[in-house]
Amino acid sequence: MTSDETAELQAVEAAIARHGHEPGPLIVVLHAIQDALGYIPESSIPRIAEGLNLARSEVYGVVTFYHYFRTHKPGTRTVQICRAEACQARGCQALERHARETLGIDFHETTADGATSLEMVFCMGNCATGPAVRIDGRLYSHVTPERFDALLAHQEGAQ
């Protein structure tokens, strides 16, 4: 078993043990797994189904319904760009284009070197100071294309 597979198994078992008894536990369990691993490996779906006494199809259906859950390993860092109207009113379309061109990927993709995943979100409640971007959980306001480059470079420097 590789270390990835061991980590996966541990995360899945821990999530089921910790939350399996709660009412309607599936989404709570999925969050716990994604918090631990960064994604929900498709290979874990049979075990989640068994542990929660659900059909595999039910688990698969829920994982794929929600935009937040992902079944592929993300990049080292995740960049979320808000595409909703309030950020559009502040010019987020230009930022979207810039981010896709700079990183060379589309939304829901990861750069070839595995460094960066790009996600789109619709509203982070930061609507008066857009365009809004969240990088690895940290929220930023007024993100122009130039600021976007600076934030990514700063992060790379810090790593």
Interface residues toward another protein, by CB under 8 A: 23-28, 30-31, 58, 61-62, 65-69, 84-90, 121-130, 132, 137, 139-142
Question: Which residue's CB is nearer to another protein, number 7 or number 121?
Answer: 121
- Rounded to 5 degrees, what are φ and ψ at 45? -60, -45
Nearer to another protein, 113 or 138 (CB): 138
Question: Cβ 24 to another protein, closest distance in Å?
Answer: 4
Instruction: Provide, rounded to whole angstroms, the least separation between the CB of residue 118 and another protein.
Output: 15
> What does the alpha-carbon distance between residue 33 and residue 89 come to, in Å, rounded to a whole number?
36
Q: What share of the chain is helix, strand, coil (3-state, %, to 5)?
A: 50, 15, 35
Residue 129: strand, helix, or coil: coil
Of 4 and 66, which has the nearer Cβ to another protein?
66
Least Å from the CB of residue 64 to another protein: 9
Alpha helix locations (H) across the chain?
A: 3-19, 26-37, 45-52, 56-65, 85-88, 92-103, 145-158
- Of the candidates 7, 30, 2, 38, the residue with the CA atom closest to the CA atom of residue 110: 38
Q: How near is the Cβ of 115 to another protein at its closest, in Å?
A: 22
Q: Which is nearer to another protein, 103 or 135 (CB)?
A: 135
